């Protein structure tokens, strides 16, 4: 901890503060996120450590880079040191767009989505074994100073789940939960695809595909798999892609590989080179 100087608070996570820090050795500005594991069982703690170790291995331009972790036994806290994403998160961005009814240009949506798919491709198709995100949502997608998209907050939410200090206030409505998750079936990479489809929908429609005021009616809507068409300003290709991803049958959903082969994505990837 002595290697870092605290610059200020960025926000409050579900399990503790998120602060901006400076690494003393080279002046690099980073973020540290504290998580209190005091109320976790031995098994859950081991799982948390295992998850953090996986996250440390993920090195990709579209994934929030993890630098270090510090365990403070006395405080029963783990500090995760990671890349600072100056542009904040997509959740905040979408809230602003919603308020101003300011629709995002379709080209921008495809560009953001392409980067999310590249990040998911890195996770799902790793030679060392696949990693599932498990909590894809606007608040877990960050922007750096150059407006590059960075996927963050892997799996930790799942490990920490019940342990949240602010469980009642902080756990939002699970708008992007897939039908198989509702039915407590196994979470698989196609569940990430469902959530990514919901995210893609919300970036265009400025609202999630399934909305309700309570968990039960949300679950019913999700299991029906039916949602309103995107605003007409958005193309049939975008609509069709969302319909394929947000399909109640996981087998029918495209894989990351299938999505990368779509002209809207592959052409954008060629342009970047």
Q: Tell me the two tokens of residue 206.
A: 């400025």
Among 26, 68, 102, 135, the active-site one is 135
68 as an active site residue: the answer is no
Residue 82 binding partner per list Mg ion, ligand ADP, none, with a CB distance cut-off of 5 to 8 Å that depends on partner kind: ligand ADP
The distance of closest approach from Cβ of residue 177 to Mg ion in the complex, given in angstroms and rounded to an integer, is: 16
CB of 58 to Mg ion, least distance (A): 16
- What's the closest the beta carbon of residue 262 comes to Mg ion, in angstroms? 28
Among residues 152 and 155, whose Cβ is nearest to ligand ADP?
152
Give the footprint of ligand ADP on this chain (CB under 6 A).
10-11, 13-15, 18, 31, 64, 82-85, 88-89, 139, 142, 152-153
Of 153 and 202, which has the nearer Cβ to Mg ion? Answer: 153
- CB closer to ligand ADP, 18 vs 97: 18
Written as one string, the DSSP assignment of the chain is -TTEEEEEEEEEETTEEEEEEEETTT--EEEEEEEE-TT--HHHHHHHHHHHHHHHH---TTBPPEEEEEEETTTTEEEEEEE--TT-BHHHHHHHHHHHT-PPPHHHHHHHHHHHHHHHHHHHT-TT--------SGGGEEE-TT--EEE---SHHHHHGGG-TTHHHH----TT--HHHHTT----HHHHHHHHHHHHHHHHHSS-SS--SSHHHHHHHHHHT--PPPPTTS-HHHHHHHHHHS-SSGGGSPPHHHHHTSHHHHHHHHHH-
Segment 102-141, which members bind Mg ion (CB under 5 A)?
A: 140
* Closest residue to Mg ion, based on beta-carbon distance: 153
Of 125, 7, 121, 18, the residue nearest 77 (C-alpha): 18
Closest approach of Mg ion to the CB of residue 216, in Å: 25
Residue 181 interaction partner, one of ligand ADP, Mg ion, none, beta carbon < 5-8 Å per kind: none
# residues near Mg ion by CB under 5 A: 2
Question: Is the Cβ of residue 36 or residue 264 nearer to ligand ADP in the bound state?
Answer: 36
Q: Is 51 in the site for Mg ion (CB under 5 A)?
A: no
What is the nearest approach in angstroms of ligand ADP to the Cβ of residue 135?
Answer: 8
Longest dimension (CA), the chain: 57
The helix-helix angle for 189-205 and 90-100 (nearest 10°) equals 30
Query: Closer CB to Mg ion, residue 153 or residue 189?
Result: 153
189 binds, among Mg ion, ligand ADP, none (CB under 5 to 8 A by kind): none
Does residue number 89 form part of the binding site for Mg ion (CB under 5 A)? no
Q: How far is the CB of 263 from ligand ADP (least distance, A)?
A: 33
Q: Binding partner of residue 84 among ligand ADP, Mg ion, none, CB under 5 to 8 Å per kind? A: ligand ADP
State the virtual CA torsion across 120, 121, 123, 125 in degrees, nearest 10: 150
Does 153 bind Mg ion (CB under 5 A)? Our answer is yes
Residue numbers annotated as active site: 135
């Amino acid at each position: 901890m002595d290697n870092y100087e605290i610059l200020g608070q960025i926000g409050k996570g579900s399990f503790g503060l998120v602060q901006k820090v400076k690494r003393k050795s080279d002046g690099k500005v980073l973020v540290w996120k504290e998580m209190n594991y005091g109320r976790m069982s031995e098994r859950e703690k081991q799982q948390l450590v295992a998850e953090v170790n996986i996250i440390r291995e993920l090195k990709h331009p579209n994934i929030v880079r993890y630098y270090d972790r510090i365990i403070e036994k006395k405080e029963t806290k783990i500090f995760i040191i990671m890349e600072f994403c100056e542009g904040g998160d997509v959740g905040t961005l979408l809230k602003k767009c919603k308020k101003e009814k300011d629709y995002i240009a379709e080209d921008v949506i495809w560009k953001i989505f392409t980067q999310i798919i590249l990040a998911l491709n890195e996770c799902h198709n790793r030679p060392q074994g696949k990693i599932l995100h498990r909590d894809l949502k606007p608040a877990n997608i960050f922007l750096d100073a150059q407006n590059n998209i960075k996927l963050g907050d892997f799996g930790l939410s799942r490990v920490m789940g019940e342990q949240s200090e602010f469980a009642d206030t902080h756990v939002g409505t699970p708008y992007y939960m897939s039908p198989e998750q509702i039915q407590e079936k196994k979470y698989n990479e196609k569940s990430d695809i469902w959530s990514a489809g919901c995210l893609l929908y919300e970036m265009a429609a400025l609202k999630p595909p399934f909305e309700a005021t309570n968990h039960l009616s949300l679950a019913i809507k999700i299991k029906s798999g039916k949602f309103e068409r995107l605003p007409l300003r958005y193309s049939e290709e975008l609509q069709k892609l969302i319909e394929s991803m947000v399909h109640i049958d996981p087998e029918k959903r495209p894989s990351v590989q299938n999505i990368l082969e779509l002209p809207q994505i592959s052409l954008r990837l060629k342009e970047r080179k």
